[in-house]
Amino acid sequence: MVVTWLGDGGFRIGELCGLHLIDLHLREGSACGECRTAHVHLCHRELNPNRARAKVKHPWTIEHGVLHGGLVRRVSPAMIHTYFEYMTTEYPRDAEHGMLLVQMHGPRRGQPWATAAARGMLRRAGIRLDLGRIHPHQWRHGFATSVLDASGGNTVMARDAGGWASATTVDVIYGHVDVHDPAFVAALNTVWGEQA
């Protein structure tokens, strides 16, 4: 799940470890009304128990149990699939912290997963699979490159797909891409290997 979410979502490891279940709107027509298709809201929180933090600080709020705001990022079908598999087979039923990723082994089992532990797992997996030293940022770079290729070199799309804070000139001249822009949707579908 972690690899799928890093590869298809282009998340920073801090963003991924900082996700709360309430940030995930994976069904069509979420109550937030901010994006029709599956998405997550990246929300900066200073006080996560695992100290993971989203870098972006867009304002967010919870109204009547529904999260609004933060930075909306699209979610691929493969991400949803791995999420449901993880939630039904691995996620501890008695977790009260509400965070998405938890420690699976050891004395901290069930506690929110720290970014250092996530990095360590990926590093060990890389060594075990003879892939050399694996760094979570590699997926983010790969994601950006794929979106750039799939969108015909559209740097604004690539930037917004990964939530990069941008060079201000690009912002001023081109603005932002609408997450429902058909070209953007098509680019993501290509990256995710989905039919348009």
Q: Out of 4, 30, 103, 115, name the contact with Zn ion by CB under 5 A.
A: 30
**Nearest C-alpha neighbor of 101 from the set 48, 43, 144, 138:** 48
**Tokens standing for residue 100:** 């998405």
Q: How far is the CB of 34 from Zn ion (least distance, A)?
A: 5
The string over 50-74, giving b where at least 16 C-beta atoms fall within 10 Å of a residue's C-beta and e elsewhere, is: bebbbebeeebeeeeeebbbbbbbb
Q: How far is the CB of 28 from Zn ion (least distance, A)?
A: 11
Q: Which stretch binds Zn ion (CB under 5 A): 17-25, 87-95, 153-161, 171-179?
A: 17-25
Max intra-chain CA distance, the chain: 52
Question: Which string of x and - marks every residue 32-61 that binds Zn ion (by CB under 5 A)?
Answer: x-x---------------------------
Q: How far is the CB of 161 from Zn ion (least distance, A)?
A: 17
Range 137-158 burial, b when 16+ CB lie within 10 A, else e: eebbeebbebbbebbeebbbbb
CB nearer to Zn ion: give 144 or 179.
179
Stretch that binds Zn ion, among 22-30, 51-59, 80-88, 141-149 (CB under 5 A): 22-30
CA distance 103 to 110: 5
Estimate the crossing angle of helix 2-9 against helix 77-89, to 10 degrees.
Answer: 160
Which CB, 32 or 183, lies closer to Zn ion? 32
- Minimum CB–partner distance for residue 70 and Zn ion (Å): 9
Phi, psi of 38 (to 5 degrees): -60, 135
**Cβ 94 to Zn ion, closest distance in Å?**
27
Among 25, 44, 74, 140, binds Zn ion (CB under 5 A): 25
Residues forming contacts to Zn ion in the complex (CB under 5 A) are 25, 30, 32, 34
